Structure 1
Amino acid sequence: MPLVRGPLRVVSLVPSLTEAVAVTVPGALVGATDWCSHPADLDVTRVGGTKNPDVPRIVALAPDLVVANEEENRAPDLAALRVAGIEVLVTEVRTLPQAFQELTRVLAACGAGRRPGWLAEAEAAWRELPVPPVPLRAAVPIWRRPWMVVGRDTFAGDLLARLGVANAYAAHAERYPRVPVEELCAAELDLVVLPDEPYRFTRDDGPEAFPAHLPTALVSGRHLTWYGPSLAEAPAVLGAALSAAR
């Protein structure tokens, strides 16, 4: 008799891909990083961080596939998994169209029989955006001590541009440059966008560093930087936060 193959065993090293796989292909995930917080009831083996995954633990899970990202995960870790005989699918996501393409590829590789409804809803939500008003020139810090901002060729920058926010550092040579807060305060900005991840900016931690006349928008980092089911509601969530700060 032919052997009956069970469902694919997948380990995800990217929080947004973890959520996408978990809600689309239930039961496929057997491992995820400590930072994979969605879905909230995710019950899988934790394999360390995105930058320092426990390679032996991943190998012990005997996955058919590990899904990763060229920005979030380190090449040496992915190479070690390949040496151990594990297939690794590496995504690159720097624009919204890339996100949709890569999500389709990842979900198909993980055993999804068809494109999920949430992905079609996300595409429609972004396609049906109203024409943005005159763009606001903004800086988008993602860390402090030292201060770091979103620079060129980033997914977050692309999303904000579609919502009428022009990244003041979009032409910087680096993708996530370090910029002293004094320089940020002196720049001719209309707005500062402060997400709650990777650094958790709050009303009491971030806005006080900027001049009182300069509006600051506190936004959901998951909706700004994750490419997964959150994309369906991201235009409304981010748009509301930006409008409140205008």
Structure 2
Amino acid sequence: MRAVSLVPSLTEAIARSAPGAVAGATDWCTHPPDLDVVRVGGTKNPDTGRILSLAPDLVIANEEENRAPDLEALREAGAEVLVTEVRDVPQAFRELDRVLDACGVPSHPRWLDEAEDVWSSLPPPATRRTAVVPVWRRPWMVLGRDTFAGDVLARLGVGHVYATHPDRYPRIPLEELRAAAPDVVVLPDEPYRFTADDGPEAFRGLPCALVSGRHLTWYGPSLAEAPRVLGRALRAARP
């Protein structure tokens, strides 16, 4: 099996489960850290010619992360493309099963069993908090409806303010975000890299949690530790 993965979390999942199966990956595929494969550009602007030159048996993509015209160009050139859709945690596990099966993984890898056990055994949240979850600034964009990250937070007792917004990633003026007065502002380090000096200063007086984007938005081996890592960051939130 020769796979080219255009989705960082799925690159990690395949590489961990079928060593040697990943022939190419995007520049954003940073895990496993020792992954040594041909780089094929970004998730939004992959080099389709380079992908085809690798003669992959399968190209792995995601309907949100990758652009339809790029995937169609690969199909027209004869490549087989598997497109995933992940909007919540249960769907993530179903799609991981589908991807790993397509890549010839004969049985559930241990990390996947552990991740499913962790999420299925989560206790009901003792309390529920509200959150604003920016994913970009200039302009400010936040989590809206029907997102994987929103479902992750909801299962940890954090409901984000714009969960019923018509858009999945609405642009909201900063003044409105502040006026929502959430219990916590969740600032991931991707896709925009919020840091202690870039993000919290916009929400003075509100508790801010700097969290790992890999644990909030990736559906792969990081799922096994995501509740613990995110829970710790949320508990440590400070104004």
Q: TM (normalized to structure 2)?
A: 0.98
Task: Give the 5 Å matches for 1:48-67.
Answer: 48-67=41-60
Structure 1 stretch 19-28 or stretch 203-212: which is displaced more?
Answer: 203-212
Offset, 1:149: 0.2
For residue 123 of structure 2, give the secondary structure of its aligned residue in structure 1.
coil
Aligned twin of 1:4: none
**Residue of structure 1 aligned with 2:11, choices 9, 18, 26:** 18
Q: Which stretches in structure 2 are left out of the alignment for 5+ residues? A: none
Counterpart residue identity of residue 221, structure 1: G
Is 1:118 equivalent to 2:111 in the alignment?
Answer: yes
**Residue of structure 1 aligned with 2:169, choices 176, 199, 206:** 176
Is 1:231 equivalent to 2:223 in the alignment?
Answer: yes
Is the radius of gyration larger for structure 1 or structure 2?
1
Aligned partners of 1:131, 1:101: CA distance in 2, in Å? 23
Offset, 1:244: 1.4
Is 1:75 equivalent to 2:68 in the alignment?
Answer: yes
For residue 245 of structure 1, give the secondary structure of its aligned residue in structure 2.
coil
Counterpart residue identity of residue 148, structure 2: F
Q: Percent identity?
A: 74
Aligned partners of 1:131, 1:139: CA distance in 2, in Å? 21
Task: Give the 5 Å matches for 1:1-246.
Answer: 8-212=1-205, 214-245=206-237
Q: TM (normalized to structure 1)?
A: 0.95
Misfit runs of 4+, over 2 Å? none
Aligned partners of 1:146, 1:39: CA distance in 2, in Å? 32
Counterpart residue identity of residue 36, structure 1: C
Q: Deviations over 1:179-198 (max 9, x none)?
A: 11111011131110000111
Aligned partners of 1:127, 1:114: CA distance in 2, in Å? 20
Q: CA RMSD in A?
A: 0.8
Offset, 1:133: 2.3
Aligned twin of 1:5: none
For residue 209 of structure 1, give the secondary structure of its aligned residue in structure 2.
helix
Counterpart residue identity of residue 216, structure 2: L
Offset, 1:240: 0.6
Counterpart residue identity of residue 198, structure 1: P
Offset, 1:211: 2.7
Counterpart residue identity of residue 199, structure 1: Y
Offset, 1:33: 0.3
Counterpart residue identity of residue 130, structure 2: R
Counterpart residue identity of residue 160, structure 2: N
Offset, 1:107: 0.3
Counterpart residue identity of residue 230, structure 1: S
Aligned partners of 2:190, 2:42: CA distance in 1, in Å? 15
Q: Which stretches in structure 1 are left out of the alignment for 5+ residues? A: 1-7
Aligned partners of 1:56, 1:227: CA distance in 2, in Å? 27
Aligned partners of 1:134, 1:234: CA distance in 2, in Å? 19
